[in-house]
């Protein structure tokens, strides 16, 4: 007997289209091999590494900051990593920065500081 219930991971509000998550940024090895990136998922930006969603955020700026952090963290090997950001992520991040009265690079630096402080806070509670 077929199951008429939709799978649990599909939202009931109709947002699911059956298509894969569209990428708005790529983390590239050797300039062309995709090893991760940022994808749109249910109105959020998801950091995807190795085919798995590692984190998500509603902030386009934070999505770029997370991808930059992933690049730094994963760049310890001999293969150089680079980032390619599509206008579908770049422009909303620039608008977000402007709404905070900042240029994009200054906004990303502020978000990286915030990310680092949160990580330090989590580490402090585990000790």
**pLDDT tens digit sequence for 87-96:** 999 999 999 9
Q: 100: helix, coil or strand?
A: coil
Confidence (pLDDT) at 30: 86
Q: Give just the sign of the alpha carbon dihedral 51, 55, 60, 65.
A: negative
CB within 8 Å of 74: residues ≥ 6 apart:
27, 35, 36, 49, 81
Note the helical H segments in the chain. 60-74, 87-99, 104-126
Q: Give the chain's residues under pLDDT 50.
A: 1-8, 10-18, 125-127
Confidence (pLDDT) at 124: 53
Q: What is the pLDDT of residues 94-104, one digit of tens each?
A: 999 999 999 99
């Amino acid at each position: 007997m077929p199951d008429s219930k939709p799978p649990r991971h599909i939202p009931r509000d109709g947002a699911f289209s059956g298509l894969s998550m569209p990428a708005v940024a790529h983390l590239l090895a050797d300039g062309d091999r995709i090893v991760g990136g940022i994808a749109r998922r249910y109105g959020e930006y998801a950091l995807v590494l190795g085919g798995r969603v590692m984190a998500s955020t509603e902030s386009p700026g934070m999505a770029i900051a997370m991808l930059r952090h992933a690049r730094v963290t994963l760049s310890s090997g001999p293969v150089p990593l680079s980032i390619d950001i599509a206008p579908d992520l770049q422009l909303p991040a620039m608008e977000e920065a402007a709404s905070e009265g900042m240029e994009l690079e200054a906004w990303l630096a502020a978000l990286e500081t915030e990310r680092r402080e949160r990580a330090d806070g989590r580490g402090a509670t585990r000790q």
